[in-house]
Amino acid sequence: MRSRTIEPLWTAEDVSTFLGVPVSTLYQWRYRRIGPRASRVGRHLRYDPADVRAWLSKQAA
């Protein structure tokens, strides 16, 4: 049987580094609902890396 590994969720700082944009831009995109999908985990904002990559691919199209 094959085991699945779960990729950890990214913080806003992780996504900022990956996309090369300031964290404040991510918060503006979230407010305007134009950025990658994010979720609240308690009071923390987290991004699924697969969602961020999918959003980025969609932007390039």
The residues with which 38 forms a beta bridge, in sequence order, are 47
What pTM value is reported for the model?
0.87
Q: Tens digits of per-residue pLDDT, 3-60? A: 677 889 999 999 999 999 999 999 999 999 999 999 999 999 999 999 999 999 999 8
Question: Is the sign of the CA dihedral 40, 43, 48, 49 positive or negative?
Answer: positive
Contact 34, 59 (CB under 8 A): no
Contact 50, 13 (CB under 8 A): no
User: Where do the domains of the chain lie?
Assistant: 12-60
Is pLDDT of 1 > 80? no
